[in-house]
Amino acid sequence: MNRKLAQSPPRAMPRRRRSMAAQSSRPETGLIAVSPLLLTLAAVCLSLAVGVKPGYGFENGLARIEQSGVLRLGICEEDFPPFSFRSPDHGGWAGYDIDLASALAREMGVELQIVTDQDWEGVIDLVRDGRADIGMSSLSATPERTRKVAFSRSYIHLRQGVLANQLALARLAGSDPVEKLNSPRALIAVRTGSVYRQHLPNYLPRAEIIEFSSWDECYEEVRAGRAAGVIGDEAQLLSWLGRNKGDSMRLIPVILGDKQDPLAIAVPKQEAGLLEYINAFLRHQPQAPDIQRLYWEYKNDSPLESGPQSAGPAIPPSEYPMLALAAAVAFLTAAYLVWAACRSGRKPGQNPAGS
Amino acid sequence: MAKKFVMMREGTATDRAAASTAAWLIIMKSSGNIILMIASMAGGVAFGQYFPDARPTMSSFGRLFMALLQMCALPMLIVSVLSAPRRLLGGEGEAGHAGRSLLAKYAVSLLLGAGLSLTVGLIIRPGNGLDPAAFDFIDRSYAGIQDGISSAADKDVDLVFFLIQVVPENIFAALSGGNVASIIFFCLLAGTAVARVTRGAPVQYFFGLCDELEKAITVLLGWFLRFLPIGLFCLAGSQVYDLNSPIMHALRNFLAALALCYLIMMAVYALVFIRSSRCGLWAGIKELGKPFLVAAGTQSSLASLPVIRETLGRQRALAQEKSYFSAAIGITLNPAGSVAFYALASLFLIQIYDLPLSPKAGVILLLGAVLAGMAGVSIPGLAALSLLSIVAEPLALPHAPVVFLLTGIYPILDSAMTAVNVVANTSISALLGKPAPMSEK
């Protein structure tokens, strides 16, 4: 790895020097003809003096990473399975993003170092300020974020959705779940400052929005049925659903039609060469699998074995009237049918219909 | 020496052919034997289990046998229902009484299913303390839930939906599509209208034609029913259930409650059949066993109709015309097994969400289950499960997860439901075919 680092710059540099030497050895034909050449030489000398090679960002960004021997990956502290999360097995970081970044680091011949920040905007700031070489952690490539960083080509597209409370959903008017959520009576929870806060009025314009400072609070509101749903991408919805096994009966992911979220790798804006390198790397990666498969692949927990199933609690007193009614209906109907069958008819063999 | 050897070989081949022909004839002659039918089904299951490669072939032959039965069942149903109003309900002064008696017994039969499953469900409480494996199954298949919600949402299932399903827009389309409820509805109306027409020679000719056609179909059916053991062998072998699937374990309390409910129902119906047809206990069980096994094997009430008819035809204590008519319309009007299933599934849904079952909710559940059971006859396959929305929507309950869970065990549910429906239909048809008591004369 370090060997490759040591070899890379000398390989590039002599070529440039040879080119410049060839240019400088040309015979001078006059002041007008010479002046562009002099200007170019002056510019090259100046740029060499300040350590910047104009037009050679690829070499610069990559060389810096290779020289340091470390690719710094910026991710969120929070778990976002299956992209980046702390593995319950070894306590370290795991996930699809981590694996992808590791493959990139291997390709560069460097080691991967993980730098974390509180949230996605923090990850963007890490990359912008040069504290991380690249940023991932299921980062959405939004137009707003491109003011601060550049994004690679998307490596996976996630659909947008709402994790809805089923009981709340059933009480809302409408035939389609999305139509139900897009009603003035539907309260949709969202985290303050997240991308979804900006997009929610476009996705569900008629729904009422309620903001919380964390995703956990949003989730709890929906779980308790105080909010109809919480907005997120497919991976988030799966991650929330996976928290508590009993919740899958109460909560349901509702996908918002064709709304898609492209996930990409953030790089510093000036690193055009690094961006090109990463794009080339991504083009050679196998296509990302279906998100649901990815989730269960990384979650890597075996299906729950069915345990001893309790027969359920005793009958609550409030259901005694219903039990009495149902038992009476069952008994009376059975008794009537048997009585009707036992009533004496004509003797056997006397068939009035004469079939 | 060589000549003797050839003769021996020929003799052996002839003996073998004679033996197989004799065995074939024995099987054909005893095709109605209940033991042989059970053995055929058990043999089919074992064969399908040990030779999975043979399943597609068995499935093809099974479908062929079902097609033969259904081919006879549909004209039989049309002829029975078309001519019944004239013979049974069209008689002066008897129409109203017979019609009321028919509908009352169907209503009682359906309420028995709903009431019994509610009682069992309220005592066993299958929805409380659901197994974690069920949640895991849902978690791993969330895309399926989404599809389930969408498909259920596509249909606005209520009373109007049911009526639209029953009233045929185009009777020829209903005939070609095998929409039993629509065909029965049309034939009942058409039969009543024909019965009201002046009783001239053409009308007599029409009913005479119906009678002859019915006899011809019965003869045809007799031929096909000789292949019943082979048909059941192939059908049973092609439908091998995974009894060890996680979802089976997860829903075992629900299945236990449904099984208990069905057992009690079958005991009541067997008693009704035995008393109505005046046969002994063992003979009654044997008679009911045949339509039961055919229904469980074919999962089709329509395909079982010929066998129900054959069973009723053997009961000399019954007025066959009445019982045939009841068996035909009972496919739609008396699906007691389906009603019991929908009632229990709705209660299961309420218990999963820990909601109290108020008397008002209970009445909605009872009536909704009856409607869903009757509507389910005209909706084939898995789509029938979405009819849970008839009960769930008035109670503002999400039904998609339960529909999704039940989808995993639907083949078994369908077999059991159809079998109980057919037993209920046979017994109530026997009850309706029973001559009126002397006191009423």
pLDDT band at A215 (very low <50, low <70, confident <90, very high): confident
Number of other residues whose CB lies within 10 A of the CB of residue B223: 10
Provide the H-helix boundaries in chain A: 2-24, 31-50, 57-68, 96-108, 120-128, 166-171, 177-181, 195-203, 215-223, 234-241, 272-283, 291-299, 320-342
With CB atoms and an 8 Å threshold, state whether B105 touches A340.
Answer: yes
Answer with the residue of higher pLDDT: A303 or B77: B77
Distance CA A78, CA A119 (A): 7
pLDDT band at A136 (very low <50, low <70, confident <90, very high): very high
Contacts of B131 in chain A (CB under 8 A): 306-307, 309
A21 contact B CB<8A: no
Strand order across the beta sheet in which A187-191 lies: A208-212, A187-191, A229-233, A156-165, A251-263
- B386 and B393 in contact (C-beta within 8 Å)? no
- B69 and B303 in contact (C-beta within 8 Å)? yes
* Phi-psi category of residue A114: left, alpha or beta, with phi > 0 → left and psi -120 to 50 → alpha: beta
Encoded tokens for A19: 């080119």
With CB atoms and an 8 Å threshold, state whether B142 touches A252.
Answer: yes
With CB atoms and an 8 Å threshold, state whether B112 touches A330.
Answer: yes
Distance CA A205, CA A201 (A): 4
pTM more than 0.90: no
From chain A residues 30-89, the ones with a CB under 8 A of any chain B CB are none
Looking at this predicted complex, what is its ipTM? 0.72
For chain A, the maximum distance between any two Cα atoms, rounded to a whole number of angstroms, is 135
Contacts of B87 in chain A (CB under 8 A): 353
Q: What angle do CA B54, B57, B59 make, to 5 degrees?
A: 105
Q: How far apart, in Å, are the Cα atoms of A34 and each of A23, A30, A54, A285?
A: 11, 6, 22, 48
Q: How does pLDDT run across B414-426, given as a tens digit for each residue?
A: 889 999 999 999 9
* Phi-psi category of residue A174: left, alpha or beta, with phi > 0 → left and psi -120 to 50 → alpha: left
pLDDT band at A51 (very low <50, low <70, confident <90, very high): very low
Nearest chain B residue to A174, by CA = B153
Query: Rounded to a whole number, what is the distance in Å from the CA of B320 to chain A's nearest CA?
Result: 6
Residue B4 clears pLDDT 80, i.e. is over it: no
> What is the structure's pLDDT at B427?
92
Q: From the candidates B117, B131, B141, B142, which should be mutated to test the interface with A, based on the most A CB atoms within 10 A?
A: B142
> DSSP secondary-structure letter at A213?
S
DSSP A93-150: EESHHHHHHHHHHHHHT-EEEEEEESSHHHHHHHHHTTS-SEE-SS-B--TTGGGTEE
Residue in A329, A337, A344 nearest the CB of B272: A337
With CB atoms and an 8 Å threshold, state whether A305 touches B133.
Answer: yes
Residue B76 neighbours by CB under 8 Å, 6+ apart: B214, B217, B218, B221, B305, B306, B309, B328
A295-315: average pLDDT: 59
Which residues face A140 on adjacent strands? A263
SS3 content of chain B, % helix, strand, coil (to 5): 80, 0, 20
- A152 and A158 in contact (C-beta within 8 Å)? no
Residue in A292, A322, A333 nearest the CB of B108: A333
A238 contact B CB<8A: yes
Nearest chain B residue to A313, by CA = B128
Report the amino acid identity of residue B193: A
Contacts of A325 in chain B (CB under 8 A): 359, 362
> What is the structure's pLDDT at A351?
47
With CB atoms and an 8 Å threshold, state whether B129 touches A340.
Answer: no
pLDDT band at A21 (very low <50, low <70, confident <90, very high): very low
> What is the structure's pLDDT at B172?
85
A1-29: average pLDDT: 37
Encoded tokens for A268: 């510093």
Q: How far apart, in Å, are the Cα atoms of A234 and each of A80, A144, A177, A240, A258?
A: 11, 21, 16, 10, 12
Contacts of B118 in chain A (CB under 8 A): 322, 326, 329-330
Q: How does pLDDT run across B22-31, given as a tens digit for each residue?
A: 555 555 555 5
Which residues face A165 on adjacent strands? A251
- B339 and B419 in contact (C-beta within 8 Å)? no
Helix (H, G, I), strand (E, B) or coil at A212: strand
* Residue that has been written with the tokens 């994004």 in this structure: A151
With CB atoms and an 8 Å threshold, state whether A330 touches B320.
Answer: no
Encoded tokens for A180: 């139900």
Query: Rounded to a whole number, what is the distance in Å from the CA of A8 to chain B's nearest CA?
Result: 47
Alpha carbon of residue B284 to chain centroid:
19
Report the amino acid identity of residue A235: A
> What is the structure's pLDDT at B73?
78
Contacts of B161 in chain A (CB under 8 A): none
Query: Rounded to a whole number, what is the distance in Å from the CA of A336 to chain B's nearest CA?
Result: 8
Contacts of A345 in chain B (CB under 8 A): 317, 434-438
Residue in B132, B274, B427 nearest the CB of A245: B132
- B41 and B293 in contact (C-beta within 8 Å)? yes
Distance CA A20, CA A270 (A): 25
A351 contact B CB<8A: yes
Contacts of B396 in chain A (CB under 8 A): 167, 170-171
Contacts of B430 in chain A (CB under 8 A): 341
Query: Rounded to a whole number, what is the distance in Å from the CA of A235 to chain B's nearest CA?
Result: 12
- A260 and A243 in contact (C-beta within 8 Å)? no
With CB atoms and an 8 Å threshold, state whether B351 touches A305.
Answer: no
B219-232: average pLDDT: 82
Contacts of B214 in chain A (CB under 8 A): none
With CB atoms and an 8 Å threshold, state whether B125 touches A325.
Answer: no
A301-317: average pLDDT: 57
Of A116-125, A131-140, B313-322, B358-367, minimum mean pLDDT range: B313-322
Closest CA to A345 of B316, B104, B105: B316
Residue A192 clears pLDDT 80, i.e. is over it: yes
pLDDT band at B189 (very low <50, low <70, confident <90, very high): confident
> What is the structure's pLDDT at B436?
63
Residue in B146, B246, B436 nearest the CB of A303: B246
* Phi-psi category of residue A344: left, alpha or beta, with phi > 0 → left and psi -120 to 50 → alpha: beta
Q: How does pLDDT run across B341-382, given as a tens digit for each residue?
A: 999 999 988 888 877 788 788 888 888 888 888 877 766 666
* Helix (H), strand (E) at residue B181: helix B180-196
B330-341: average pLDDT: 88
